[in-house]
Amino acid sequence: MSCADDQFLGIDGQFFVQKVAAAQIFTVLLQGSAKLGVMARIASMTGALSPIFATFDPLLVPSYWIFLVALVGNAIYPSVLLTSKSKHLQREVAAQCDAALGVTYFIVYCIATWVTNSLSRTFPLTPYEYVATIFPLVHILGVARALEENAKPLPMKRPGLERARSTSAMETRLPPRVSVGHVVIALGIVAVIFVRTVIEGLYPFDDWHRACRPCDCDGTVLVSCDVPKELETVLLYLEGRGITDIAKNSLGKTLQSFSLARNDISTLAPEALSSAEYLGFLNLGRNRFHALNPVSFESNSELRGLDLQSNNISTIEESAWPDSLVNLALRGNRIRELPAGLLDARGLRFLFIDDNGMREVEAGAFDLLPRLEHVWFGGNELDCASASAALPASVVCMEDRCDDGEFGLMPIGDGFCSEGQGVLTKACAWDGGDCDS
């Protein structure tokens, strides 16, 4: 920091008070306009987090209020401290408040966006949001450096600083009228931003008790997921919400992992999931499917894992599955027969057809699964020995049950070593080989 900077804008500078007052107006405007709406949407994500981040779920609503209180405090404190007759309160304490608020903005926002998997908000690319995210951190570093410099002994040959430090707090404090104007403007900014969230129907003015929160349902049909869309979240869990169907274009294109387990879905329109362009993992386990048509997933060219266990599926239409599909779980249904050519999934490596009471597997049943590595066959009338004639020699037939935990069977073969998720066992083919060194 140069002598001129210290003399005019440093903690002991002639215009320090004016600089802080102006900077806090800018901070309130920047942080409030860029982040308060995001924090309100994040609060609405309560109950829809991935099990990985379930520990943080109770903290989403408090994080919103912490952020809002920080904005209000940011609007008020300059008018209190900068008018003080105490130089310590007017300078050092004001700078410390500034740094503390910067830490609050940065940490609360980053953690909240990270645990909701709104990564485009954690690491934004648009100039305005990027500045709003990085500004508190840069500001903290600047304030910390100023406090450090101020604590050093005064150099003997810097008369400018000596004059600055001899300036009376009474001479430099914020005039009362300016102080009142400052707090009115700053609180006015917070109020306008808050009212905007009210108009948009965001937390705390949304319907907190709606069944599909943070999405919206028309009756029991999922019709829109505007909050996750705007957050650009990649993981969404809407389990046990009584959902019976999904409307077209209801999902955001950034969604990569979606769980609708334990709902009441019995059919899925061909384009119901088409808007989720990057959907990689879908859990539809424990719903009410009786028949299944792979056409429902033809628009999901990135789909790698599909969990359909514990439905009531007895019929599967002959149609191609996405070539990207690696893991298909049909466990616990009523698929009694497996005809030749029924399963056409050229990229499939892991197939769960255990606990179906299966009594017949035709020759050629696995011919359209050229990359198949493991098939789970326990709990059927047939065992692996009985089905061996239909299985390619390279396929490992498993009769031991792979227990699925809170993450279902999707971690197997997902390309990531899923230690601690219950699938790193022989019965689960050692997580499908994902943990191989």
Q: What is the pLDDT of residues 369-401, one digit of tens each?
A: 999 999 999 999 999 999 998 999 999 999 999
Report cis status (omega within 30 of 0) of the bond before 78: no
pLDDT at 266: 94
Average pLDDT over residues 274-297: 94
Cα Rg of the chain (Å, integer): 30
Q: Select from 330, 352, 353 the least CA-distant residue to 284.
A: 330
pLDDT at 155: 54
Residue 156, CB-side half-sphere exposure with 13 Å CA sphere: 0
Alpha-carbon distance 229 to 224, whole Å? 9
Alpha-carbon distance 151 to 366, whole Å? 76
Average pLDDT over residues 410-435: 83
Q: Is the pLDDT of residue 261 over 80?
A: yes
Which residues make Cβ contacts (< 8 Å) with residue 278, sequence separation at least 6? 234, 253, 254, 255, 256, 302
Report cis status (omega within 30 of 0) of the bond before 62: no
The values of phi and psi at residue 53, to 5°, are -110, 15
Residue 185 and residue 25 in contact, taking contact as beta carbons nearer than 8 Å: yes
pLDDT digits (tens, 9 = 90+) for 313-364: 999 998 899 999 999 999 999 999 999 989 999 999 999 999 999 999 999 9
Q: Is the pLDDT of residue 135 over 60?
A: yes
pLDDT at 326: 96
Average pLDDT over residues 114-135: 92
Q: Is the pLDDT of residue 4 over 60?
A: no
| Average per-residue pLDDT for the chain | 88
Q: Is the pLDDT of residue 3 over 70?
A: no
Q: SS3 sequence, the chain? A: CCHHHHHHCCCCCCCHHHHHHHHHHHHHHHHHHHHHHHHHHHHHCCCCCCHHHHHHHHHHHHHHHHHHHHHHHHHHHHHHHCCCCCHHHHHHHHHHHHHHHHHHHHHHHHHHHHHCCCHHHHCCCCHHHHHHHHHHHHHHHHHHHHHHHHHCCCCCCCHHHHHHHCCCHHHHCCCHHHHHHHHHHHHHHHHHHHHHHHHCCCCCCCCCCCCCCCCEEECCEEEECHHHHHHCCCEEECCCCCCCEECCCCCCCCCCEEECCCCCCCCCCCCCCCCCCCCCEEECCCCCCCEECHHHHCCCCCCCEEECCCCCCCEECCEECCCCCCEEECCCCCCCEECCCCEECCCCCEEECCCCCCCEECCCCCCCCCCCCEEECCCCCCCHHHHCCCCCCCCEEECCCCCCECCECCCCCCCCCCCCCCCCCHHHHHHHCCCCC
pLDDT at 166: 44
Q: Is the pLDDT of residue 116 over 50?
A: yes
Q: Select from 161, 165, 201, 188 the least CA-distant residue to 75.
A: 188
User: Would you say the C-alpha torsion 367, 371, 377, 380 has a positive or negative sign?
Assistant: negative
Which residues lie across from 408 on neighbouring strands? 405
Of 9-13, 179-183, 262-266, 372-376, give the lowest mean pLDDT range: 9-13
More confidently predicted of 325 and 50: 325
More confidently predicted of 218 and 408: 218
Q: Is the pLDDT of residue 300 over 60?
A: yes
pLDDT at 282: 96
Q: Angle 60-81/16-31 helices, nearest 10 degrees?
A: 160
Alpha-carbon distance 287 to 389, whole Å? 33
Average pLDDT over residues 9-17: 65
Q: Select from 290, 293, 291, 253 the least CA-distant residue to 273.
A: 253
pLDDT at 129: 92
pLDDT digits (tens, 9 = 90+) for 198-255: 999 999 998 889 999 999 999 999 999 999 999 999 999 999 999 999 999 999 999 9
Q: Is the pLDDT of residue 156 over 70?
A: no
Of 53-57, 65-69, 420-424, 426-430, give the lowest mean pLDDT range: 420-424
pLDDT digits (tens, 9 = 90+) for 32-48: 999 999 999 999 999 99
The values of phi and psi at residue 222, to 5°, are -70, 115
Alpha-carbon distance 221 to 264, whole Å? 10
- C-alpha distances in angstroms, 59 versus 28, 54, 113, 392? 23, 10, 12, 51
pLDDT at 167: 56
Q: What is the residue whose two structure tokens read 């990359």? A: 371
Q: Is the pLDDT of residue 154 over 60?
A: no
Alpha-carbon distance 82 to 172, whole Å? 9
pLDDT digits (tens, 9 = 90+) for 159-201: 544 444 445 656 677 788 988 999 999 999 999 999 999 999 9
